C-alpha cells in the first residue's frame, strides 16, 4: 500500500469517527422517551410536579431565550406574600379628642321664664360660621398587573396558552414551551431568569390553580407540523385521543 493510499484510508477512518461523534451528539430522535404517566384529571386545582429551567442550559442554548412559539421567555414576578400580623383596630373611645370636653357641663341654651302677664323681649344672637373649602390633591397609586412567567409542559395535558397560579407563591405562569423530558409526564417546568434561581427551585410538588385553559386544537395544529420528533408525536397522539398509542411510543 502506497503512502497516498494509507493517507486516504486514515482520512476516511477519521471522517467516519467524526461522523459517529456528531450523530451521537445530535441524535435526539434516538433518545428514549421518558416513562409515560396517565394524565391528571382536568380540574381547576391540581397537584403537580414542578421543575425549573433557564435559557443558558446546554439543551436550550440553541434556542436562546425564546420559547416554542417564537416569543421571548419571561421570568415570573416576585412571590406574593400575605401580611400575617395585622395591627389591632383602635376603638372609638380610645381616640384622643382635639378639644377637651367637660362631660358634666350642659351646653343646652338657658331657659327663659314664662309668664302670661309679662312681655319680655328676647334677643337671640346667631353666629354664622363660614366654611372654607380647600381642594386636596391625593396621590393615587396605580398597581401594575404581575409579570406572567413562562412555563414548559406537555401540551396534551396543559395546552399552549394555559395560565395558572402557584398557590404557594402567588406567581402566575403561562404554558409557552415544551420539552423532551416533559412528553407524557405530569410535570411543569418553570422558567427562571438564571441558574442560581433554577437550582434554588429544584423539584417541588406544587398545587396550582388553572386560571385559563389553552385551546387543545390550536396546540394540535401547531404540533402536527413538527411530529417527526417522537416527543412531539406522543403529544399529537394524545391530543388526537390515541392515549394507548401515545403510552406505547418509546
pLDDT in tens, 5-45: 666 666 666 666 555 444 444 444 468 999 999 999 999 99
231 falls within a domain: no
199 falls within a domain: yes
220 falls within a domain: no
DSSP for 50-106?
A: EEEE-TTSGGGGGGTTB-TTSSB-----PPP------PPPPPGGGSPPSS---TT--
DSSP state for residue 174 in the 8-state scheme: E
23 falls within a domain: no
Give CA–CA dist 51/201, Å, rounded: 7
What's the farthest any 2 CA atoms get from each other in the chain?
156
In the predicted model, what is the mean pLDDT of residues 139-165?
87
Full domain range(s) for residue 56:
43-78+145-215
97 falls within a domain: no
Overall domain count for the chain: 1
In this prediction, residue 28 carries a pLDDT of 42
In this prediction, residue 118 carries a pLDDT of 47
56 falls within a domain: yes
* Structure confidence by residue, pLDDT tens digits, 50-79: 999 998 876 666 667 889 999 999 999 999
CATH number at residue 58: 2.40.40.10
In this prediction, residue 95 carries a pLDDT of 43
> What pTM was computed for the model?
0.65
Amino acid at each position: 500500500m502506497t503512502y497516498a493510499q494509507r493517507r486516504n484510508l486514515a482520512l476516511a477512518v477519521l471522517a467516519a469517527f467524526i461522523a459517529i461523534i456528531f450523530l451521537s451528539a445530535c441524535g435526539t430522535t434516538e433518545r428514549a422517551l421518558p416513562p409515560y404517566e396517565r394524565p391528571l384529571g382536568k380540574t381547576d386545582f391540581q397537584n403537580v410536579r414542578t421543575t425549573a429551567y433557564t435559557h443558558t442550559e446546554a439543551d436550550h442554548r440553541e434556542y436562546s431565550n425564546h420559547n416554542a412559539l417564537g416569543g421571548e421567555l419571561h421570568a415570573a414576578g416576585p412571590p406574593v406574600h400575605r401580611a400575617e400580623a395585622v395591627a389591632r383596630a383602635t376603638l372609638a373611645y380610645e381616640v384622643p379628642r382635639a378639644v377637651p370636653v367637660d362631660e358634666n357641663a350642659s351646653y343646652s341654651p338657658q331657659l327663659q321664664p314664662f309668664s302670661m302677664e309679662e312681655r319680655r323681649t328676647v334677643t337671640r344672637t346667631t353666629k354664622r360660621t363660614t366654611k372654607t373649602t380647600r381642594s386636596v390633591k391625593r396621590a393615587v397609586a396605580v398597581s401594575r398587573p404581575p409579570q406572567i412567567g413562562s412555563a414548559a409542559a406537555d401540551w396534551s395535558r396543559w395546552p399552549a396558552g394555559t395560565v395558572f397560579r402557584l398557590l404557594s407563591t402567588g406567581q402566575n405562569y403561562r404554558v409557552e414551551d415544551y420539552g423532551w423530558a416533559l412528553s407524557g409526564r405530569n410535570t411543569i417546568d418553570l422558567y427562571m431568569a438564571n441558574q442560581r434561581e433554577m437550582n434554588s427551585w429544584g423539584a417541588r410538588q406544587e398545587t396550582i390553580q388553572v386560571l385559563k385553559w389553552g385551546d387543545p386544537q390550536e396546540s394540535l395544529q401547531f404540533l402536527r407540523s413538527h411530529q417527526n420528533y417522537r416527543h412531539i408525536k406522543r403529544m399529537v397522539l394524545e391530543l388526537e385521543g390515541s392515549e394507548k398509542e401515545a403510552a406505547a411510543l418509546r
